[in-house]
């Protein structure tokens, strides 16, 4: 299955002046955080909001001297950068997830998983359920 390197029509070109590699990494992480992003129509309000968030994240991810830097050395002049996910603030993540929730049908917001009716602990005591 090919990996789609855009998020809802947001392409690496939309995140300029950030370099393409950083932009692609930001878009991959964005798809992980909010899988519904590709469903946004290009130039829709949801798409514009997502693009605004992703532009800020991409700029933060590329800027040296910000939260993207994990450690710096002096005499050895070394700089290590954090993972791309550290460029996403909690506000960015909640914003992207909110955008997904705002366009999801009510049924899609129901709990995901199976919840069995039979309870294994009921079978431990022969008298049945405690009331």
pLDDT value, residue 1 = 43
Tell me the torsion sign for CA atoms 34, 39, 45, 47.
positive
Collapsing DSSP to helix, strand or coil, 38 comes out as: helix
What percent of the chain has a predicted confidence (pLDDT) above 70?
Answer: 60
pLDDT tens track for 25-45? 888 888 888 888 888 888 888
Mean of the per-residue pLDDT values of the chain: 74
The answer to whether 100 and 37 are in contact (CB under 8 A) is yes
Residue linked to tokens 């998020």: 7
Q: Where are the beta strands (DSSP E) in 9-81?
A: 69-72, 79-81
Looking at per-residue confidence, does 29 or 106 come out higher?
29
What percent of the chain has a predicted confidence (pLDDT) above 90?
Answer: 7
Count of other CB atoms within 10 angstroms of residue 84: 18
The model's pTM is: 0.61
Average pLDDT over residues 124-129: 65
pLDDT value, residue 53 = 92
Structure-token pair, residue 113:
């998983």
């Amino acid at each position: 299955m090919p990996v789609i390197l855009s998020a809802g029509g947001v392409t690496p070109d939309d995140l300029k002046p950030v370099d393409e590699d950083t932009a692609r990494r930001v878009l991959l992480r964005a798809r992980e955080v909010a899988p519904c992003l590709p469903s946004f129509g290009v130039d829709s309000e949801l798409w514009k909001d997502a693009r605004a968030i992703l532009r800020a994240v991409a700029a933060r991810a590329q800027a040296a001297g910000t939260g993207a830097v994990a450690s710096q050395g002096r005499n050895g002049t070394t700089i290590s950068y954090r993972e791309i996910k550290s460029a996403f603030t909690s506000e960015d993540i909640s914003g992207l997830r909110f955008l997904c929730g705002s366009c999801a049908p009510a049924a899609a917001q129901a709990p995901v998983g199976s919840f069995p009716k039979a309870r294994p602990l009921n079978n431990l005591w022969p008298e049945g359920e405690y009331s």
